[in-house]
Structure 1
Amino acid sequence: MAYSFTEKKRIRKGFGKRPSILDVPYLLAIQVDSYKTFLQADKAPVERENQGLEAAFRSVFPIVSYSGNAQLEYVSYKLGTPVFDVKECQLRGATYSAPLRVLVRLVIYDKDAPAGSKTVKDIREQEVYMGEMPLMTRTGTFVINGTERVIVSQLHRSPGVFFDHDKGKTHSSGKLLFSARVIPYRGSWLDFEFDHKDNVFVRIDRRRKLPATIILRALGFSSEEILGMFFETDTFHLDGELPAFDLIPERMRGELAGFDVELDGELLVENGRRITARHVRALEKAGVRRLNTPVEFLVGKTLARNIVDESTGEVLAEANDEITVEMYESFKENGVKSIDTLFTNDLDHGPYVSSTLRIDPTTNELEAQVEIYRMMRPGEPPTKEAAQNLFNNLFFTSDRYDLSAVGRMKFNRRIGREEIEGEGVLSREDICEVLRTLINIRNGNGIVDDIDHLGNRRIRCVGEMAENQFRIGLVRVERAVKERLTLADSEGLTPQDLINAKPVSAAVKEFFGSSQLSQFMDQNNPLSEVTHKRRVSALGPGGLARERAGFEVRD
């Protein structure tokens, strides 16, 4: 009988008729690969990608002192060898971990250097011990205080942009109130929502709502530019006896005629009747380019641009003003040749942004930023610099805001962009596109998302969760280091004196030891071990709470 040489066991023979096409997958790959990517222990410092521990260090460092005369830079990290092996740790009740040492560089600049130029006075490079980093065993578990534990993967809402409505539950009339929410991986949430009067509002971090045009003004857009982004225009010529507007046949189809439409002296459409495709074809066939309209048809329409008297420079009317009879007469007197009005209807071109502009109390960029400052920091007196800094830090700086690669890809795909990659922070165009898409959905040209659909959720593996905890610890270290950096020059401090690694090791220890997702391994049998390691949970920090999970999520 044939035996294998290594283990003296009988060699297994396959009597299957068909060859095996698929290899058995490595079932623990989701755990092992994720943590391997997090540590990148087998790669040289220069070859490491910007993920895991490397990404956490790069996002926090360099730390610059308040005075700007000293800064602490990150160079590289290395993991030592564990003191005990897995079996020894289990016997001793110890944690299977390796020491993490980080090479940091302290750069001190000359205080007396001329303004505008920085002269390096001193550079001190040193290795700093940052605590113990738990290692994963070959079977995808961690040995913490002598017991085998498993970090369960978490199912959470994917970053990106989501469009939804309240299913008619908010208002007594049962009207659908649409909303859009931009969820970043890290940073402030941005919500746009309609109210029952069809005005659009914005919320930042679920705080008090403001008219949505305030955030557009804070981005530097004027009323004219805001209206130009969200509306098409009709042009009325005032150089004749009656106002005449440029005919655009596609827009007229399905509209109610606001006046008698005549063609070659014959009545084509009576006032108040609906214009059909046949009427539009007749106008196109006759080559009609302009239609004379009564003044009453023009009155009540909304101006798309400021009307300025060219001779004196006086503003006769501002964008978003409703045209009155007096205004029309003033245009005629001052020789205004043509005006542009907003094209709106009740069907698929609602006047939502125009009506929101009317309830917007701000008139320029600074006023809008101050209004946002008051909403975010009630009770604090706003200054110009404080308002600008707060607004820029909300969505436009990578330190405070990050959509992540997945979030950017989903964001771009949802708003109809072709490119998959992009910056982790928002841009002016991003915010305008979200609002434009929301208005299109309100107009009936789009569908809302199902937030409980698994396509709108993603799995956070052990490496990603460990990185987040490590970053939290580093941010605490950063605060302490910033205060002590000012003394670095005068007292001759070294990087080891500056960095206290306790917050980092405490955050890591808490995550692996007592987090909701760090669980004792189910050791009933080998199959239950594998299923525990491959389990996915929607609970845990940043996920659902057991008490608040509704039926929709459970389904």
Structure 2
Amino acid sequence: MVLESLLPASRNKPLARKSYAKLPTILDVPNLIKVQLDSFQRFQEDGLKHLLGEISPIRDLTGNRLELSFVAYEFREPRPGHSEQECHERDQTYSAPLYVKVRLLVKDTGEIKEQDLFFGDIPLMTEKGTFITSGAERVVVSQLLRSPGVYFTAEEDPVSGRRLCQAKLIPTRGAWLEFETSNRDVVSAKIDGKRKIPITTLLRGIGYGSDNELLKLYAKDIDTSEHDYIKTTMEREPLIRDEREALLDIYKKLHPGEMPSLDNARKLIKNLFFDAARYDLGNVGRYKLNKRLGVNVSLKERTLTKEDIIEIVRRILLINNGQDHSDDIDHLGNRRIRTVGELVQTQFRIGFLRLEQVVRERMSIIGTEAVTPSALVNIRPIVAAVREFFGGSQLSQFMDQTNPLAELTHKRRLSAMGPGGLSRERAGFEVRDVHFSHYGRICPIETPEGPNIGLIGSLATYSIINEYGFIETPYRKVHREISSKDAHLAGRSVTSDVLDEKKSVIVKEGTVISPDVAARLAKMRQRKIKVVPFVSDEIIYLPADEEDKYTIAQANAPLDENNQFKEKRIEARQADGYILEVPEKIELMDVSPKQVVSVATALTPFLEHNDANRALMGANMQRQAVPLLRPQAPLVATGMETEAAKHSRQVVFAKNAGIVTELSGYVDDKLNTKYRLIITRDDGNTDTYELMKFVRTNQGTCINQRPLVEKGEKIKAGQLLADSSATEDGELALGQNVTVAFMSWEGYNFEDAIILSSRMVEEDMFTSIHINKHEVEARDTKLGPEEITRDIPNVGEESLRELDEDGIIRVGAEVHPDDTLVGKITPKGETELSAEEKLLRAIFGEKAREVKDTSLRVPHGEWGKVINVKVYTRKDSRNGGDDLPAGVNQWVQVWIAQKRRVSVGDKLAGRHGNKGVISIIAPKEDMPFLPDGTPVDIILDPIGVPSRMNIGQVLETHLGWAAQILGFRALTPVFDGANDIAIEDALCRAWIVQQSGAVDPNPGKDAQPFKQDVATAWVNSQGYDGKAIFDETRRGQARETSLRLWLETLNIPARNLAAGELERVVEKVNAEGRFAPPTYGKVILHDGRTGVPFDQPVTVGNIYMMKLIHLVEDKVHARSTGPYSLITQQPLGGKAQFGGQRFGEMEVWALEAYGAANNLQEMLTIKSDDVTGRAKAYESIIKGDDILQPGVPESFKVLVKELQSLGLALEVINEEETTIAPAEETMKEPFKLDAGLKESEEPRWREEEDVRD
């Protein structure tokens, strides 16, 4: 079955997509992983250059002996054997060596020494936007955090009731400066959270020493106010009247206990705010400061200026006086994204600063004669910083690779947590909430459900990140003027008279420009002509703070053929307000309705009909869908499926045109089986595409690329060449299209449970492939080397039948729990040899040494087929082996594939948050069947729809039903999809096709599944217009005709009924509950077991269902005996430890309530921690004897020990008043750590002791 996937995908052409979108595509979806690729490229090109410039040159402590400069750097090619694929297979890091040209100047002699120094292997980003570290793909998530800059907040004072301003000045690096206003009109500042300093003191300290200078600075702001903040603050410090006193006062408050001097005080202020080495606003901080304060300081000036501080105080006074507004800290204009490049750069800075210290220290030790750059530079701090980031940072995450969508979403994820960010515990409601500035930037739907809700988000579909790290979204410009030479001038209405050079009127105000007039204007001198506002195709990208100034229309505002607004009042938004506005005041328009949501959310059809909570679950669960053996693209799609598949980089497109000349598997020079597709271009050169076959992902799912072309086929540039495991024809295909009925069935779908037909199992519709990797190393131990061999002690030949002569499992072998995969023996510790053993040793040499079996075996609960084996052997002088870690002689990897069919307990879900667990897989012959005898595939609970308010699933069911019968694939984008009339028309056409017998049981290849001429003829024979039914432009025609025909089939005359009367009669008949009109998408179903029809029509249709990664096989677990905890001797917990089920306190109460004393005693003793009792019970069961009375549980003995540790000498006496454990004995008795282990098991601590010897 697995081998089928090696063949090219089906050559049948897919059904055509029928789009229900009403709006044209204005802007293509941008490259969805650009955020990762561009950022890392910026780091490689500019970030490192900036860092090296920041610490270069490094001078020795005296400053006049040595000077070390970093002149240039380059990334060299990755080392041989370190390609992406090889790093995956061999658990290595995909990286490139960084070399830096270092120049050393010896100042005494003027000698210059230059060297290219190796600065460590730096992880490289793959073209998919990921990193490969230790063989695993990782993603660096972008961080959303408060931007550097100044923030003003105003809070109401509880005493005076006035709104008083506070401000925070946050640099990228350096001391924070906080300002606050008291209700007594005193404005003060805090430097790095230390003691308050009156603002007048701070201003005097930076050069505005006299009272006059201070009052002159804010003369205007004081005049207009009832409160004199500056005067009041000056009066608070009557002794400080000039710059000198102010500087000394600031020094005393920041360094209490030290003797201040004027020079030290001046130096302190300079170091705090005006020294580039200690204070850095960064590009972003300077940009934000300029914007907020209205100053015009160069962006290269990254320290504070005196003007900045003066302006900050001015804003505080204005806000206090109600003449300026405070800032919203949750606004996206004040929150920025730190992308992967910036995060890596920050980590590098830490490494470089440590390096700088090391170089300085070495400069003071080494003499100038022998010194070289390599003697000074130690790269360990840099290597450690990089390793720490990629291996341990909260933002460097193990990639979610369940399916292509999960990959893509992970790369576009935003996290407010991480270093310098928020924590789950501290984050309040406001920061988690959806903000109006998220529109078109961050998806309001896609976020986790747990404690991270609102802290982790996803970029919206069209959003991009600008150079400062702010999220921008695109808009179309609305123009009120047009060039006289513009080709689109004809047909526009002018809003003022158009004059020629002689000032005579060519076009009067309010008239439309004809093509002749437009041609005449084009010949004249170019100028702007005022016209009725129209929406242009000019796109601008705006950050959130810029956008607030504009009035923006929605993407679906109706436009005429000249792109002018049709309506007199347009729904628009302005900052956080939603208004109806005249077209003259509209300045911008959204580019697409889906620009509000993320990729995963945009994959949900009829999203607008779902409650937000369920939409959130739907978006999140699509990321958990397992790639299936036979992927199917959804019958009802949104159009984002193609984009998601393309940008996930899992489907293969042709780079150039040409002819397919090779499509086959081959064995490379390292004996690995690989698959490739070669296209010979027109110029004779070739393009080779390596295809991935049964590659394991991080989550154990399978990537399997299937070619869609054949040898000899002509290919165009950009053509789709190969599909992946979760795509079909280049569209994302996460699930299956199944026939669904919404009804209850014997109570099996109680509480969202799902009833599935056995057809789904038989036809492998929800079958998925899962791959597990197992590995073993043969190491050198102190007692000798471990050996991989077939010769394993005390193991029968039957267990070794699938191993080759080296003791390694063969590819293709079926394996089950506890089967040997790789035979391995480890030397045991030597004991005193008997005479016989000495004789054997003398005869057979070392062979008779005692070894123990440490073979790699299939873990409990796993099974499957071995699909690949790799053996790596240490290099030596005789053979060209592999580079292995120290102490490892051989390393074997085994991959096992499982083909998992869908089973009871698996979790299925739709795209609307409609999830459930399979409760029964019923025989297909027992499932309810349609009038034509087709059994339904799946039964869902109708009670699950109204309370969840995810009506999208019902609309999808209806449209899917029509699409299935009429033979098309629907495309209904979010917020711009099929409306109720379109769906009803489609349902009615499907009903007519069925009634007319036009369904073709054997449609030819690429033919539609019904005969339209037969359906048309049948409608005509009933006296209606058959052609009009299938005319898409005649909305509602199919609906009306089919309703009349339906009533006539029930012998109710309907031909002459007026439209309103028709609706009333249809409702009346429907209310009787025996028959449903065609618009309802309901069918009379028959019980598969009895053949009797159900008493009411049932909603039946086609729905897209996915199998999620929460598979029952990973969770189901049983144990008879197994490992026990060393201290308590109770069974361990959890499937991974082969543990038991905990019979806890509440379960004990339940048995107590029933008075089940014997059951309870068994549970708490021989089934748990009565060591001797359980051994005897096992023996009794084997021998068929009665089980003896339980003994004392080990946990009771632990309690006795704990009490003894408190100094209480306890005696344990039973009912017969005989002492079970006298105090003296229990005190003397050594605690047995290895009690209760099976004979074959060695306690771990003893093993380690042996190894140490």
User: Which residue of structure 1 lines up, in the alignment, with residue 467 of structure 2?
Assistant: none
Q: Which residue of 2 aligns with 1:255?
A: none
Distance in 1 (CA, whole Å) between partners of 2:42 and 2:11 is 37
Query: What does residue 460 of structure 1 align with?
Result: 338
Equivalent residue of 1:201, what SS?
strand
* Deviation at residue 90 of structure 1 after TM alignment: 1.6
Contact 1:162 1:180 in 2 (8 A): yes
Q: 1:209 — aligned with what?
A: 196
Q: Is the 1:71–1:485 contact (alpha carbons within 8 Å) kept by the matching residues of 2? A: no
CA deviation string 1:420-464 (max 9, x = no partner): 845111111111011011111111111101111122101110000
Q: Residues 163 and 320 of structure 2 are in contact (CA less than 8 Å); yes or no, is this contact kept in structure 1?
A: no
- Structure-2 change in CA distance of 1:445 and 1:86 (3 Å): same
Q: Which of 202, 217, 220 is residue 229 of structure 1 equivalent to?
A: 217
Which of residues 43, 51, 76 in structure 1 aligns to 2:72? 76
Counterpart residue type for residue 498 of structure 1? L
Following TM superposition, by how much is the alpha carbon of 1:481 offset from its aligned partner in structure 2, in angstroms? 1.4
Confirm or deny that 1:356 pairs with 2:361: no
Matched residue type, 1:97: S
Q: How much has 1:23 moved relative to structure 2? A: 3.1
In 1, the alpha carbon distance for the partners of 2:300 and 2:49 equals 21
Q: Determine helix, strand or coil for the equivalent of 2:166.
A: strand
Q: Does 1:194 align with 2:181?
A: yes
d(CA) in 1 for partners of 2:97 and 2:336?
32
Is residue 51 of structure 2 the alignment partner of residue 64 of structure 1? Answer: no
Higher relative contact order (Cα pairs below 8 Å, separated by 6+ residues): 1
Q: 1:39 aligns with which of 26, 30, 44?
A: 44
Q: Name the CA shift for 1:192/1:52 in 2 (closer, same or farther; >3 Å).
A: same
Q: Give how far 1:410 is off.
A: 1.6
Distance 1:174 1:95 in 2: 61
Partner of 1:187: helix, strand, or coil?
coil
RMSD, aligned CA: 2.5
CA distance in 1, matches of 2:321, 2:17: 65
Query: Offset at 1:149?
Result: 0.7
Q: Residue 30 of structure 1 corresponds to which residue in structure 2?
A: 35
Tell me what 1:433 maps to. 311
What is the deviation of 1:496?
0.9
Distance 1:429 1:135, change over 3 A: same
**Partners in 1 of 2:307 and 2:297 — Cα distance?**
14
Give CA deviations for 1:271-319 in whole Å, capped at 9, x if unaligned: xxxxxxxxxxxxxxxxxxxxxxxxxxxxxxxxxxxxxxxxxxxxxxxxx
In structure 2, relative to structure 1, the CA distance for the partners of 1:75 and 1:390 (3 Å cut) is same
Superposed CA offset, 1:46-82 (max 9, x none): xxxxx31111111111112221112111101111221
Q: In 2, are the aligned partners of 1:64 and 1:482 still within 8 Å (CA)?
A: yes
Match of 1:423 in 2: 301
Residue 399 (structure 1) aligns with = 277
Count of residue pairs the alignment pairs up: 418
- Structure 2, unaligned stretches of length 5 or more? 1-7, 434-1253
Counterpart AA for 1:145 = S
The answer as to whether partners of 2:399 and 2:407 remain within 8 angstroms in 1 is yes
Provide the C-alpha distance between the structure 2 equivalents of 1:63 and 1:11, rounded to a whole number of angstroms: 67
The separation in 1 between residues aligned to 2:145 and 2:313, in whole angstroms, is: 25
**Aligned-partner residue type, residue 381 of structure 1:** M
Query: Equivalent residues in 2 for 1:38-437 (5 A)?
Result: 38-40=43-45, 51-69=46-64, 70-83=66-79, 84-110=82-108, 121-168=110-157, 171-223=158-210, 224-232=212-220, 348-360=225-237, 361-417=239-295, 421=299, 423-437=301-315
Tell me what 2:1165 maps to: none
Task: Tell me the secondary structure at the aligned position of residue 52 of structure 1.
Answer: helix
- What is the percentage of aligned positions where both structures have the same residue? 47
2:354 & 2:245 partners in 1: Cα distance?
34
- Residue in 2 that maps onto 1:301: none
Distance in 2 (CA, whole Å) between partners of 1:217 and 1:151 is 46
- Would the alpha carbon gap of residues 376 and 478 (structure 1) be closer, same or farther in structure 2, given more than 3 Å must change? farther
Asked if the contact 2:106–2:368 (Cα under 8 Å) also holds between the matched residues in 1, the reply is no
* CA drift at 1:383: 3.4
The alpha-carbon distance between structure 1 residues 60 and 418, as it changes in their structure 2 partners (threshold 3 A), is closer
1:417 Cα shift?
3.4
Change (3 A) 1:363 1:33: same
Residues of 1 paired with 2:295 and 2:199: CA distance? 23
Distance 1:222 1:24, change over 3 A: closer
In structure 1, distance between residues paired with 2:58 and 2:119: 16
Query: Counterparts of 1:495 and 1:367 in 2: how far apart (Å)?
Result: 48
Q: Distance in 2 between matches of 1:494 and 1:230?
A: 58
Are the structure 2 counterparts of residues 132 and 353 from structure 1 closer, same or farther at C-alpha, using a change threshold of 3 Å?
same
SS at match of 1:481: helix
Report how far residue 182 of structure 1 moved.
1.3
Q: 1:516 to 1:60 in 2, by over 3 A?
A: same
SS, match of residue 455 in structure 1: coil
CA contact (8 A) 1:413 1:420 kept: no
Question: What whole-Å deviation, never above 9, does each CA across 1:17-49 have from its counterpart, x for those lacking one?
Answer: 998653342110000110011012xxxxxxxxx
Q: Distance in 2 between matches of 1:470 and 1:201?
A: 37
Does the aligned pair in 1 maintain the 2:176–2:191 contact within 8 Å? yes
Where 1:459 maps in the other structure, the secondary structure is: strand
1:473 deviation in Å? 1.1
Contact 1:108–1:489 (8 Å) recurs in 2: no
Kindly state the Cα deviation for residue 531 of structure 1 after the two structures are TM-superposed. Answer: 0.4
Instruction: State the distance in 2 between where 1:399 and 1:8 align.
Output: 64
Q: Which amino acid in the other structure matches residue 71 of structure 2?
A: V
Mapped to 2, the partners of 1:130 and 1:93 lie a distance apart of 22
Query: 1:181 Cα shift?
Result: 1.3
Closer, same or farther: CA 378–15 of 1 in aligned 2, 3 Å: same
The 3 A distance-change label for structure 1 pair 502 and 371 is farther
Matched, 1:553 2:431: yes
Q: Find the aligned partners of 1:539 and 1:72 in 2 and give their Cα distance.
A: 38
AA partner of residue 180 (structure 2): E
The one-letter amino acid paired with 1:63 is: I
More moved, 15-24 vs 177-186:
15-24
